[in-house]
Amino acid sequence: MELLVTLRKKQLLEKLLPLVDGVIAGSLFTSSYDSSIEDIEIICNYIKTRGKKVYIVMDDFVSEDELPDLYYYFRVISKLDVDGIYFHDFGIYDIARKDDMVSKLIYDGKTVLCNALDTAFLLKRGIDSVVLSRELTLEEITNIVKANPKQVDLQIFGHIRLSYSKRKFLKNYFNEINREYDYLNKETMSLVEEQRDYRLPIIENDHGTYIYSDYVFEMFNEINDLKKYLKRGIIDTLFIDDSTVMEVCRDYRRISNENKEFLKQNLLQSHPDNYSSGYLYQRTNITKDE
């Protein structure tokens, strides 16, 4: 399993690279870390000269108006020496198909890729890999990755995205209450439902609004048994402080069945947070009638 980390700050590259196999950088078509073509080129060269891998994430849905920009951007990116492109919008698949670039694609459907059949369907189209949805149990994940060994990626750490909207929820709300507020791209904002007490991080940019889990997903106890089947494990750093990111990268790199409990306890003590195994042991198929 390649260990990848999402890159939010270029300044962290030097420290991160020795700890991971590769880096996932943003693009103009992603939710959280916009990067210009020039930025990506610099990042790409920096990483490549250090013998590591570089992936680009383009996980927004693209409107028809944005297609010409997407074509241009994709074609420039594809000429760089990137190792893969994470995509969400099947329009990107269509562009890659015409440019003979499908083998560079990695599908991240966020919430909609939950089974082995869809995984196999996409892999059969020639794409490199898929990222499974975060709403799966460990048993479901295990079955899918065993059926498609070394062709599946998994988010193994970080806040889980709960929703993605084209609507500007924060901008609209501040308009509604007639308040001026500096909210754009701010990582410190959160929602608390009036009957509940946990905070859901919310971030808004020019593309829309994204809400994330209150907890930080981790799979210290499970990753060791899965990693021989996984192609890549992704550490998502959004809302995570730099020091925790460094420690987590280091831990996932050296984790084993012998030290996993120790590393987890260590993390809990050094960087206390609301860590959770998410849905690994909890199904979410309760219906309204139950």
Partner 1 sequence: MNKIELLAPAKDLAKAKIAIMYGADAVYVGGKSFSLRSRASNFDNESLKEICGFAKSYGRKVFVTVNIVFHDDDYKGIMDYLKYLEEIGVDAIIISSLALIPIVKKVAPKLECHISTQLSSLNSASVEAMKEFGADRVVLAREASMDQIKQIASKSSIPLEVFIHGGMCSNFSGRCVLSNRMTLRDANRGGCAHSCRWKYHLFDGDEIISNPNCLMSMSSKDLRASAYVEEMIRSGVASLKIEGRMKSEYYIGQVVKTYRRMIDEIYANGGLSPERLAYYDEELTKAENRPADDGFLSGECDSSKHLYGINGAGVTHDYVAYIHSYEPTRSIALIEVKNIFHRGDELEVFGPDIDNLRFKADNIYDYDWNDVELANKPTQLLYVRMPFKVSQGCMIRKVNR
Site for partner 1 in 118-157 (CB under 8 A): 118, 120-122, 125, 133, 135-136, 140, 143-144
Q: How many CA atoms lie within 13 A of 232 on its CB side?
A: 27
Nearer to partner 1, 115 or 224 (CB): 115
DSSP H helices, 50-115, are 67-79, 90-98
Cβ neighbours for 262, distance < 8 A, ≥ 6 positions apart: none
Q: Smaller CB distance to partner 1: residue 112 or 268?
A: 112
CB of 38 to partner 1, least distance (A): 25
Give the nearest distance from C-beta 54 to partner 1 in angstroms.
Answer: 24
Q: How far is the CB of 207 from partner 1 (least distance, A)?
A: 11
Which of 34, 39, 66, 242 is close enough to bind partner 1 by CB under 8 A? 66
| Bridge partners, residue 202, by sequence | 211
> Which residue of 89, 242, 247, 273 would you call a contact of partner 1, by CB under 8 A?
89
CA 197, 183, 32, 246 torsion: positive or negative?
A: negative
What's the rounded Cα separation, in Å, for the pair 252 and 108? Answer: 21
Cβ atoms of residues 218 and 276 within 8 Å: yes
Q: Judged by CB under 8 A, does residue 114 bind partner 1?
A: yes
Cα–Cα distance, 223 to 106 (Å, whole number): 20
Taking CA atoms, 90 is separated from 62, 72, 152, 265, 278, in Å, by: 9, 16, 18, 41, 27
Encoded one letter per residue, x for contact with partner 1 by CB under 8 A and - for no contact, window 265-284 reads --------------x--xxx
Choosing from 179, 256, 258, 272, the residue that interacts with partner 1 (CB under 8 A) is: 179
Q: Rule CB under 8 A: say whether 77 interacts with partner 1.
A: no
Residue 43 CB, nearest approach to partner 1 (Å)? 26
Q: For residues 38 and 197, which CB has a smaller minimum distance to partner 1 in the complex?
A: 197
**Residue 192 interacting with partner 1 (CB under 8 A):** yes
Alpha helix stretches (DSSP H) within 80-147: 90-98, 116-124, 138-147
Interacting stretch for partner 1, rule CB under 8 A, among 32-40, 78-86, 208-216, 228-236?
Answer: 208-216
| Identified binder of partner 1 from the candidate list 38, 180, 258, 289, rule CB under 8 A | 289
- Among residues 267, 186, 255, 261, the alpha carbon closest in space to that of 225 is found at 255
Helix (H) or strand (E) holding 161: strand 152-165
Window of 5-13, 63-71, 221-229, 258-266 that interacts with partner 1 by CB under 8 A? 63-71
In the bound state with partner 1, the residue whose beta carbon lies nearer, of 72 and 121, is 121
Residue of the chain from 168, 207, 232, 260 that contacts partner 1 (CB under 8 A): 168
Q: Using the rule CB under 8 A, is 163 a contact of partner 1?
A: yes
Structure tokens at 228: 């021989």
Binding of partner 1 by 206 (CB under 8 A): no
Given candidates 38, 49, 51, 64, which one binds partner 1 under the rule CB under 8 A? 64
Size of the site for partner 1 (CB under 8 A): 77
Distance, CA of 234 to CA of 138 (rounded, Å): 16
- Closest listed residue to residue 132, CA positions, set 16, 280, 247: 280
Cβ atoms 99, 123 nearer than 8 A: no
